[in-house]
Structure 1
Amino acid sequence: MGSLPVNASPECAPQGRATVSASDLAPLFSAQRRHLDHFFDRLDMSQAAAFAQALLDAPGAVFFTGVGKSGIVARKIAQTLASLGFARAGFLAPVDALHGDIGALFPGDVLVLLSKSGASDELLALAPCARAKGAYLISLTSAASGADCPLAAACDLNVHLPLQGEVCPFGLAPVTSTAIQMVFGDTVVAAIMEARRLSRDQYACNHPAGKIGKTLIFKVKDVMKKQNELPLCKEGDMIMDQLTELTSKGCGCLLVVDEEHHLIGTFTDGDLRRTLKASGPAIFNLTVGEMCNSFILQESKDNHCRCNGSRSHGEDGITSFTCAVLACRRRQQRHVWDHYTARIGLCWIVDFCGIITFCWITNFCTSLLGS
């Protein structure tokens, strides 16, 4: 191991609080840009294409491995590839592999070894063992093939990732080489997505949680209020008789419907306050229909009911629906219609600006509330 230096004593440490200024950062970011440009300008696209094709054609699983920071990048690329659902992909820790985990490798599997130097002892020890298992070996190194890169000689394919230098005071810390590895791996994954014509639905199957999952999987019908949760009233009902319905459902509004349960307007808690201020005691003699926000429905040539020119669908995804809401921010209500005006539910949305939007959702020939 050689002689490790003794930790510097506190007396040798810089005095006072260390600071980083914009003028300190600017030359470092400029240097990083030059190093990345060097990589992009000198990357052998034929090698990159051969690597991508090897992953596409892999008859078995695809494993990534590496030591230290390269190992962290290898794990990330493996997880990204696995999220596409095209192949079994995973990370194989090199030391653990030499102590039994190499049993996960089978003939036809691909093992990708990431190493800046191409001379990591752990990977050089793993390569012949993986080859004996029948795996196809690919190395990603920043050292060119030759005597200085023994890992390239031990693999079936080597991809050279050109590295001009590390943005580090000593030129040693892997702060540029790992960025290059990540950019290369993720770009190849993007190419594989295009080659396999990955659809949004296929991608969504592997991302059921988090923001991606909610964006791709959840539809308006999954989050809307339905049936007895809806605050319904008739246009002839007295306003004061409907206060309990207005406040108990937690929607902040009443949905005013006709005898066939078609929406004809809404009456919000804000409308109640404004009516009370304007009418005073006369509010006891007013019906909901007299003071509600009415909507004019028109049947279009394509048999879609439109409300004030705004239309969506109960099967809409959350993202497309939210975009429609933002496009109609000047209206307090966003109505969702299908071919006919049979209602399903109400969706309450708070958009990015904190605007409360109410959504009346309809579907084809379905009337849940009427049953």
Structure 2
Amino acid sequence: MQMTFRWFGEGNDSITLKQIRQIPGVKGIVWALHDVPAGEVWSAERIEEVVNQAKAQGLNTDVVESVNIHEDIKLGLNTRDQYIHAYKETLRNLRKFGVKVVCYNFMPIFDWFRTDLFKETEDGSTALFFDAEKVISLTPEKVVNNMEENSNDLTLPGWEPERLKDLKNLFDQYKDVTEEHLLENLIYFLEEVCPTAEQCGIKLAIHPDDPPFSIFGLPRIVKNKNDIKRILNAVDSPSNGLTFCSGSLGGNPNNDLVDIVRSYASRIPFAHIRNVKHFEDGSFIETSHRDEDGSVPMTGIVNALYESGFDGYARPDHGRHIWDEMCRPGYGLYDRALGAMYLQGAWDTNVLLKNESIKKRQIQNN
């Protein structure tokens, strides 16, 4: 498991590369060109800027999250081919700098969604919270306004203003788009792009829906094990992979996360590992990465990855806001650094137990 840490770029993140470098075990950043609108080509010059910034601190840039998919591709419009062509050009430019994994999602209009970005918890920290009852009374416009008011003046990926300028029109366009239609459009995209990704040595890793069920009537197609199976089987390519996200899939307590890991470990080049706590009404809140603090089997997931021979990239995902840190919602330094250490400790325990088992066998054989 290669530990990484998400970074949003100079001027768009309260955390510096120097700080990330000081987290034990973290070897690389997970990055993107967040100011480039979906559908536009990432130039080699812009990519090189970030690569050089990371290299100066001894960090790799092997994982990109995300190269966003233009809405016309998701909708299956006649204009989608031009945006798919641009996506291929971006992959070719990323190859020049050794990028190995590109995480992306296929969620309509916006991706991750919470009703409260700074919900206070029992210990005084704050965290991202999904209030199932509150969602019923929310409109998309109210959600966008809430996100903008609580962003701390930093761009929230998946909620960029340029993507949401014409919200009513976007919702109208999706009015008759079913999950089957959306899946067909994803498969079309993958059939077009995977051959280029293979040539570039890049694995595309689709991110699950967050939360893993429909919101505002929009279709969702990466919600559970069955959805994942359909997508991975639809395009048989080593470049068609999954970003395993325990927090996203874990938003539905019916998802068996350990089983998903064991079933598709060979198709998981990238993992987001974080914890959430479920409530009886369907609400959930993000917690520390510790098993005991939430409802997600954190060490069980790490154990399953280890036992499946996982050698891909992982990162601690959303963290709480602790020790009075002012930061991007869910992406502070302190709690995610604690999470990175917890995950590596769980992994190291597996390594230790395996080594002890080998030593015992050697002694017995002698």
Task: Give TM-score scaled by structure 2 length.
Answer: 0.20
Normalising by structure 1, what TM-score?
0.20
Determine which structure has greater relative contact order: mean sequence separation of CA pairs < 8 Å that are 6+ residues apart, divided by chain length: 2
Q: Which has the higher strand share?
A: 1
User: Which structure has the bigger radius of gyration?
Assistant: 1
